[in-house]
Structure 1
Amino acid sequence: MRRTVAEHQAAVAGLLRTGYHPAPPEVLALRDALGRALAEDVRAPVSLPPFDNSQMDGYAVHAADLPGAATLTVADPIPAGTVPPPLQPGTAAPIMTGAMLPDGAAAVVPIERADPDRFYSAADRADESVTVRLPGDVDAGQFVRRAGSDITAGDIALQAGTLLGAAQLGLLAACGADRVRVAPRFRVLLLSTGDEVTEPGSALPPGRIYDANTTLLEAALREAGADVTRHRLLGDDPAVLRQALAAITEGSTDLVLSTGGISQGAYEVVKQALAASRVEFSSVALQPGGPQAHGTISGVPFLGFPGNPVSAIVSFEMFLRPALHRITGVPAPRPVLEAVLAEGVDSPPAKHQVRRGVYRDGRVTLVGGPGSHLLHALAAANCLVHLPEGVASLASGSRVEVTLIGPVPTDPVAPAAPITGERAGSGGMDSAERTLP
C-alpha cells in the first residue's frame, strides 16, 4: 500500500488515539513533575500577590499626603515578611521591596526620589524625630503591587494538559502547592531486529554493526515524555519474534515499536512474523523512511520503522512524535520556521525528502547527503529540512520549511539574510505541528 506523508500521519494518529487507554493520573512532588502534563485544571487557592505590597525600596505614603510635595515624619521601617501598623497621615514609612503595604498607604516613592535619598539608620531615629521630603508628582497606586493583580484566588491557574516547565512549576509553588496531579507517561516497548546488529560495548564481529537504533529511539522517546522499556536485541528468526510478541497483552504497554525487517529484502523478519496479523505494511512517499508498518498486536498499537538509523528517527519525528502530542499533550510541538537555502539541492519529485541541516540566522546549510545511514551528519544537525512532493530541485536562496530539533547557534554581529527565491512548502506536514515563532 502506498501512502502520502499526510495519510500516514493520520493513520498513526488514529491508531494511537483509538488504542490508548491511559492509566490513572499520578500525584508527584513538584520537583518530580518537570516535563509532565497536568491531569486536571488547577485553581489558585490564594491570590497572587496575596496582599498589597511594595514594588520598590522607598517610602510608603498616606493617601492624604499625595497632593503636592511634602515633608513628612519618618515612621518605623517595614521589612518584608512583617505585618505593619496602619500608616498615619503626615508620616512616611520606609518600606522594602515585597513588604506588605500598611493600611492608609496609597503609593510608594522610590528611595532615590526622596530627600535625603538614603534610609535613616536606627541610631538616627533613636536620637530624634527625622523627616523626609518627597516629590509632589506622586500618583495613587504608584509602585504598588495590588493583591490579586497576577491571579485571583479561585481562578484557573493552569489548565489540564499544560506542560509543566520551570515557569508553570514556579506558579504552582507560589500558589502553595507542593504536589500536582499529572497524566501518566505513555508506555513504549522498544525492540530492534536484525542478525547484523550487536550490542554496543561488546566485540564487533566481521560483517556486523553496533545497534544505534535502540539508543537513538529510546532517547527520542524519553525526551518526548514517554516511559520506555528496551527489549533485548532480536535476530532475523520470525519464530523468535513471534514468541516475543506473543508475550504482549492488552494493558501491558501503550505501543510496541520495532525497527528493521519491514522492507523488500529476503529476510524481512517483522513482515514474515506478522504476515497473518492485523499489521499493515506500507510504502510512504518519504525519503528516508519510506517503509512503514502499523496495526495492532493483541489489541496493542504497533508501529514498525525502517532499520537504518536516520530513517528511524525521521519516522519518529514525522509520525510518532506528532501523534504523541495529540493524544497526551506531551511533547510540545517542534518549532517550524522558514529558512533560506545556502546551497542548491535535488529531491525525488515523487517523495517528501527530509534532509538534515544547520539553521542559523534565517539560513539553513545542509549536512551530509540524503542517505539513511549518515548518523554523523544527523548528530551535527539542528533541523530537518523539508523538500515536499512535487519538488525536483531548489536553487540556492530558495525558501524551505525546517523543523528545529536542536539548539540554534547565535551570532549577534551577523545580519539576517534576506529571503529571496522560490519557496518549498510543507508538502503534507500537519498544520498542528507547525509552530511559527
Structure 2
Amino acid sequence: MADIYVPELGESVADATVGKWLKQEGEAVKSGEALVELETDKINFEVEAEEDGVLESIAKGEGETVEVGEVIGSIGEGSGEPAASEDEGASEEAGAGAEEEAPEEPAGDSGGSSNGSSGGSEGEFRASPTVRKLAAEYEIDLASIAGSGSRVTREDVERAIREKDRGGAQPAAEENGSAAKESAPKAQPSVQPSGREDQEERIKFSRRRQTIAKRLVESQQTAAMLTTFNEVDMTAVMDLRRRRKDEFNERTGARLGFMSFFTKAAVAALKAYPNVNAELQETELVLKKYYDIGVAVSTDEGLVVPVLRDADRKSFAEIESGIADLAVKARDGKLSLADLSGGTFTITNGGIFGSLLSTPILTMPQVAILGMHKIQERPMVVDGEVKVRPMMYLALSYDHRVIDGREAVSFLVRIKELIEDPESLLLEG
C-alpha cells in the first residue's frame, strides 16, 4: 500500500482544500493519473498517482482542509476491475468500525437503524467516508435515506440537507417537548423566511473566492488606504498606436495595446518615487529595487493577479506578449504558484468592463495600486479652445502609512505626463 500525500504547495502556502476526487474508492489507477484536485489560495492543481493499483481509501473528503505532507488517501495493489464494488464496500465498512457481517445484524446498529429496517442499515454501510462525514456534519441520519440504488451518495445526502432546511426547526421543537412548543412563538428568527426558498440557490464559495474575500477585508482593515485621482489625455498614445500597431504586430508578433505604455510609465514613476515600490514589515520599510508588476485578470472564479517579472528590463513587445500569456493561462486555469507570487506594484484596468471611475483595493503587502478606466471623449480646454479629447480617469490607491499625499499625487502626475508624451517613455527606458 502507498499513501497519497499533499505535496509542497509553494512559497507561503501551507494548506489547501480538497476540491474534487477524480477517482473513487475501488477504482483502478495508473501511475501519473490525476487522483484529486486541491484548491489553494492562488491556484488549483491535481495530485497524481505515483504507482499503478487501486484507490484503496479516501482519508480526506471534498471540502476538507489539508496541510502539506498530510495523508489524504492510499493506493493498494490490484486491478480494481472484478472486485471493485466488494473492496469498496469492505473498506467503507472497516472505516465505519463495522464487521463484514454487520448488514446481516441490523438490530446491533445504533441510531436510526434501531427500527430494524434492512434498507436503513444497508444505506448506512453503503455510504463512503466522505458521505458519512457530510451527513454527520449536518446531523443527517443515513438510515432514513433511501439512497440511489444500493448506495447512499453525496447527492442523496445533499437532497436530505435541502429538505431539512426547508422543514426549518419544527422537528427539533417537537422532540424538545411542550416547553419548546411554548417558547417557540416568542423566538424571532434573525432572518424571516421569504416563502420562496424553492426559488433560491445556495452556492458554496470556492477556496479561491473565500481567500479573495478574506484578503480584501484584511487589506481594508490593515492599511490606511486612500485614493487620489487624475485624468490623462490619451490623444498621443492613441495616435501612436494607430500609426504603428500594424508594423509593430508584423515585426514582433505582439499586439500593441495600452498596457505596455502604462507599465512603462508605472516603472518610470516607481523609480522616481521608490516608496511606492515598497513593503511595510512591522517597523521597517523594505524598498525594492526590482519591478515585478502585477496585472489584474478577471476569471470565472474571481480576480487573480499574475506577475510580470522584471518589467523594467522588458521592451514594449515583451511586455505585451508577457501580459497576453499570463491572461491566457489565468483564464485556462494554468497559472503556477510562481506566476502569482511576489509582485511589487499592481495595475488593474476596469475600463475593459466599462468602468469610468473606481477606487481599487491594495494587493497586500504592496503599498499602492494603479487603476485604469474607460476612455471617454469629453470636451476639454486646450490652449484656450474647447476641443473633444479621449480622456481616461486614473486612480492611485495607496497606504498612507508609507506614502504621503504629496508623494502619491506626484507619482500619479508623473504617469500622466509620460502617457501624454509617449515618446518620453523611450528616454525613460
TM-score (norm 2): 0.22
Of structures 1 and 2, the one scoring higher in RCO (CA 8 A, sep 6+) is 1
TM-score (norm 1): 0.22
Larger proportion of helix = 2
Larger proportion of strand = 1
Q: Which has the larger radius of gyration?
A: 1
